[in-house]
């Protein structure tokens, strides 16, 4: 089977790493891909949001399965387009993908089906938003309604910072049209985690647990990013906690989708906050998380192609999805200035003695001389597996300084878990 993967980041590299291990897989194409992906797949010069070109390519190259990494093409309706042409594709429909395209839609769904989440209001103008601030205590959370590449969530400690955030989003348009509408939410004080699930329209199957780090700097300081590191499994997600998540979140979500007439097929990423031992939903994403995918693909023992085909065909069997007992850790090496302004084209050097780690490329490319150079904010994902999280962490950090490029930085506190458990445990 020929497989097409849409996207060009670390998530897509990790997916291709796993897809390539399947006996069903003959050849993998990736659009647009990156320098690291080119070692496993043929990279195609088509952007992820050029969905008609992707469809034409799939038809011309006998693609048996297309796997969509980023959210933009899903929200644009790539799944509907492919299915209309009789092409098999892994990812939710445009109607289902709207849950990531609109924070407001997600909140309305959660309240309708009594799924635990923070109280909220929506606002369609800066004046309305400022007026509605009076309904909340501080700190509070302000979210852009639309897609913002992980940068549309602002925590405001007082009214001054809240008004500044509203003006930045709605007047200065720092995120463009993504913040034409905003959501103002109650701040939840707890431990943030996430659960990624495979879905086939009738069944929801949670993946192994993981924990990611959104802030750019150590000790959760700095701006929000797409993610600076992650580890799996997450000790916070005990068997008892997972039962709560299943009973209070997953089953009601599946019931709500069915009640709305939505056949959700693909991956549903549920962002959670564990508050005083109770899970509450922060957000829905309609695709694999990044960098959660990197640690999960290192632990997945089952054939990913088979899982994805079963999802698209409505034949998902959770009992057949097996995970390694090993732990995995991922640390992101980022460009100086990320997540704001940063330069590209910095030559990447890697020591030939990297020991027992896996490096997934995120923002990389080849320059005119064939050198691998930086081509994004998050550049490389340095990952390792071991018998426990501490040993996997040691592997990553003992190797990451063997990698260098001008301006490179990374968090030093990924997968230090001792201080994160007590706030969220039941």
Q: Where do the domains of the chain lie, and which CATH numbers do they carry? A: 2-93 (3.40.50.20), 125-180 (3.30.1490.20), 191-320 (3.30.470.20), 327-404 (3.90.600.10)
Q: What is the dihedral of CA 401, 404, 407, 411, to 10 degrees?
A: -30
pLDDT of residue 426: 39
pLDDT of residue 353: 81
pLDDT of residue 418: 67
Average pLDDT, the chain: 95
**Greatest CA separation found in the chain?**
59
pLDDT of residue 148: 83
pLDDT of residue 417: 77
pLDDT of residue 351: 83
pLDDT of residue 335: 98
Q: What's the predicted TM-score (pTM) here?
A: 0.94
How would DSSP label each residue in 38-89? GGTSEE-S--TT-HHHHHHHHHHTTEEEEEE-SHHHHHHTHHHHHHHTT--E
Helix axes 103-112, 94-101, angle to 10 degrees: 100
SS3 at position 239: helix
- Model confidence pLDDT, tens digit, residues 255-300: 999 999 999 999 999 999 999 999 999 999 999 999 999 999 999 9
Helix axes 304-312, 10-19, angle to 10 degrees: 100
Residue 316 to residue 268: CA distance in whole angstroms: 14
- Which stretches in the chain have pLDDT values below 50? 422-426
DSSP conformational letter for 255:
H
């Amino acid at each position: 089977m020929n497989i097409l993967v849409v996207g060009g980041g670390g998530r897509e590299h990790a997916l291709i790493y796993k897809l390539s291990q399947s006996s069903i897989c003959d050849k993998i194409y990736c659009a647009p891909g990156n320098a690291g992906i080119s070692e496993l797949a043929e990279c195609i010069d088509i952007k992820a949001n050029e969905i008609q070109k992707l469809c034409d390519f799939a038809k011309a190259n006998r693609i048996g399965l297309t796997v969509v990494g980023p959210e933009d093409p899903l929200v644009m309706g790539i799944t509907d387009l492919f299915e209309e042409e009789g092409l098999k594709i892994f990812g939710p429909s445009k109607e289902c993908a709207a849950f990531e395209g609109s924070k407001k839609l997600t909140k309305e769904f959660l309240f309708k089906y009594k799924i635990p989440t923070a109280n909220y209001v929506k606002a369609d103008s800066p004046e309305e938003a400022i007026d509605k601030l009076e309904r909340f205590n501080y700190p509070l959370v302000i979210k852009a309604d639309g897609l913002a590449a992980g940068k549309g969530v602002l925590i405001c400690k007082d009214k001054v910072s809240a008004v500044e955030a509203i003006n930045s989003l709605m007047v200065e348009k720092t995120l463009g049209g993504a913040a034409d509408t905003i959501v103002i939410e109650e701040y939840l004080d707890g431990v943030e985690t996430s659960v990624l699930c495979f879905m086939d329209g009738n069944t929801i199957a949670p993946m192994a647990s993981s924990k990611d780090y959104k802030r750019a700097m150590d000790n959760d300081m700095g701006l929000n990013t797409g993610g600076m590191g992650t580890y799996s499994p997450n000790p916070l997600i005990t068997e008892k906690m997972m039962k709560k998540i299943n009973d209070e979140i997953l089953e009601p979500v599946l019931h709500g989708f069915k009640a709305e007439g939505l056949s959700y097929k693909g991956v549903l990423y549920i962002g959670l906050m564990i508050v005083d031992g109770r899970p509450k939903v922060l957000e829905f994403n309609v695709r694999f998380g990044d960098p959660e995918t990197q640690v999960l693909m290192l632990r997945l023992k089952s054939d990913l192609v088979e899982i994805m085909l079963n999802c698209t065909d409505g034949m998902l069997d959770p009992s057949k999805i097996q995970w390694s007992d090993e732990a995995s850790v991922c640390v992101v090496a980022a460009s100086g200035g990320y997540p704001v302004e940063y330069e590209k084209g910095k030559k990447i050097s890697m020591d030939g003695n990297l020991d027992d780690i896996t490096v997934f490329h995120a923002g990389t490319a080849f320059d005119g001389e064939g050198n691998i150079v930086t081509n994004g904010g998050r550049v490389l994902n340095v990952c390792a597996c071991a018998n426990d999280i501490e040993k996997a962490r040691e592997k990553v950090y003992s190797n990451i300084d063997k990698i260098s490029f001008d301006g490179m930085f990374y968090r030093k506190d990924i997968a230090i878990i001792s201080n994160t458990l007590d706030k969220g445990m039941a």
